[in-house]
Amino acid sequence: MHLIHRGIVNKNYKENLLNSFKTSFKKGYGIETDIHATKDGEFVCFHDFTLKRIHKINKSIKNLSYTEILNLTKKNPIPLLKDLLKLSKNKFDLFIEIKPLFSNKLLRKLLYETKKYKKCVFISFKEKNIYRIIKIKRKTKVGLSYSPSTSIKIITKKSKNKDVNCLILDKYFLKSSKINKIKKEKYLPDIFEIYNNLQIPFSYIICPETEMLGVNTIEDFVKIDKIYQKYLVNNFISKGVLIQNPDTCRFSFDTMIQSGAIIESNVVIKKGVKILKDTIIKSFSYLEGVIIRQNASIGPFARIRPNTIISKNVKIGNYVEVKNSYVGDYSSVSHLSYIGDAKIGKKVNVGAGTITCNYDGKQKNKTIIRDGAFIGSNSSLIAPIIINKNAKIAAGSVINKSIPSNYLAIERSKLKLVKKN
C-alpha cells in the first residue's frame, strides 16, 4: 500500500485536512499524519505544535480546546483523528505520528479510540511514547523515528527490539554519508537520495518484515529459503494444487502448476517447469526445464531434464530419465529406461530397460519413434535411428537401423546350450 505524507497537498488541498485525506483514499493511497492532544483531550491531525505557520495564529495546540481551535481555523478546520479513522473505513493503512510526549492516560485513550482500526501504525520521535504503548498493549504496531543527529550505533541497537515493527529515518539522514561509512556499499535507503537527485517522484509501501530480510550468512539464506518455499506452497494450494507433504518438496521461483495437479512428497522442481492441470508428480521425482501437459503421471523416482515436453495422458514411471525429448499423447515409458534426444509419437509403449543410445563419442544423435510403435523390454536403440509407425521391436534387441512401418524387428545372438561336466 502506498502512503501519502499528510494527504495529497497542492493548491486545492492543504496538508492534514479531511479533503486531502479523502482524495488520497480515492486514489488508493494510505495516509501518514501527525497528531496532537488538545487541552480537552481530543486528538487532532496537525503537524506543528502551534497554529502560526498554517493559520498565522501564534497559539499552541495543547493550550486550546477543540472548540477554540475550530473557531480559530474556520476556513480550513483542523480535523479530529476520529474523523480520519471513520473516513478510512478500515481499508487504508494509517501511519499516525505522535508529535508531543503523551501521558499514559492519553496513550490509553488513543489506543481505545483506534482499537477497531487494524491498519494503524503508531510512530514517534519520542521513544517513550512507543515504549509506553508497547507496555500498555504489546502487539500494537509501532515504529521509531530518528532525526539526522542520531548515531548509527543507536539506531542499530534500537532496531533489535522485536516489539518495534519499523524504523522511520529522516530524509536528511538518508541523504547523509553516515550509512555508507559502515561499509563501502549501497544500502536500500540510498534509493531515496538517488531518485531525489534525478528528480524522479517516488513513494514507499508497507510490507512484512520477511520481504526485507538480508542475506549475509548461510544461516540467513536457509532462513529466507524456508520462508520463500512456504510462500510458494501457499500460493499453489490457494490455486487448487494438492501438495501432500510441503515441507519435503522444493519449488523454483518460476514454477507454474495448474489446479488439480498433485505433488507427492520429496519432489524437487527446479527452474523452468510448467505442470498443467490434473497431472500427478509422484514421490522422489526431480524435474527441471520441462513442460508436463494435462493428466500425465510422473514417477516415482523419475528424473526429467531440460528441454523436454511430456504430452497429455503420458506415463513416465519409476527410475526413468528423460532428457531433451518429446513424448507424445498417451505414450508410456513405465520403468528403468533412458530417453535422450528423442521424439516419441502418440500411443507408443517403451518397455522396461530401454535405452536410446544417443551419444557416439563425438556428438548427440536423434531417435525418432513414431505413433503406435512398441519397444520391447531391454532394447537398445542406437541413434540416429527412426522406428516408424506401428513397428515393433522384440525384447532384448540392439537396433542400429531404421525400421519400416508395421514390421517386427528381432536382433539376438543365437542361443547356445553347453552341457555341464
What is the per-residue pLDDT for 159?
Answer: 67
**Of the listed 5, 36, 55, 335, which one is catalytic?**
335
Binning pLDDT at 50, 70 and 90, where does residue 182 land? Answer: very low
Q: Which residues pair with 409 in a beta bridge?
A: 393
**Residues 271-293: tens digit of each pLDDT:** 999 999 999 999 999 999 999 99
Does this model's pTM top 0.85? My answer is: no
The CATH homologous superfamily for domain 3-206 is: Phosphatidylinositol (PI) phosphodiesterase (3.20.20.190)
Q: Is the pLDDT of residue 204 over 60?
A: yes
- How far is residue 59 from each of residues 70, 73, 406, measured CA to CA in Å? 13, 12, 101
DSSP conformation letters of 320-386: -EEES-EE-TT-EEEES-EEESEEE-TT-EE-TT-EEE-B-SS-B--EEE-TT-EE-TT-EEESSEE
Residue with cell 511430456: 310
Domain boundaries, the chain: 3-206, 225-409
Q: Are 282 and 268 in contact (CB under 8 A)?
A: no
- Our CA dihedral for 161, 167, 173, 176, rounded to 10 degrees, sits at 80
In the chain, the percentage of residues whose pLDDT exceeds 90 is 63
The CATH homologous superfamily for domain 225-409 is: Hexapeptide repeat proteins (2.160.10.10)
Residue 328 main-chain phi, psi, to 5 deg: -80, 170
The yes-or-no answer to whether 3-206 and 225-409 have a common fold is no
**Residues 50-64: tens digit of each pLDDT:** 999 888 899 999 999
Q: Is the pLDDT of residue 183 over 70?
A: no
Q: Is 335 a catalytic residue?
A: yes
Residue 354 main-chain phi, psi, to 5 deg: -75, 140
Residue 126 main-chain phi, psi, to 5 deg: -85, 100
Task: List, in order, residues 6 or more apart from 361 with CB less than 8 Å away.
Answer: none
If one compares 9 and 359, the residue with the highest pLDDT of the two is 359
Burial of 26 (0-12, 13-18, 19+ CB in 10 A): exposed
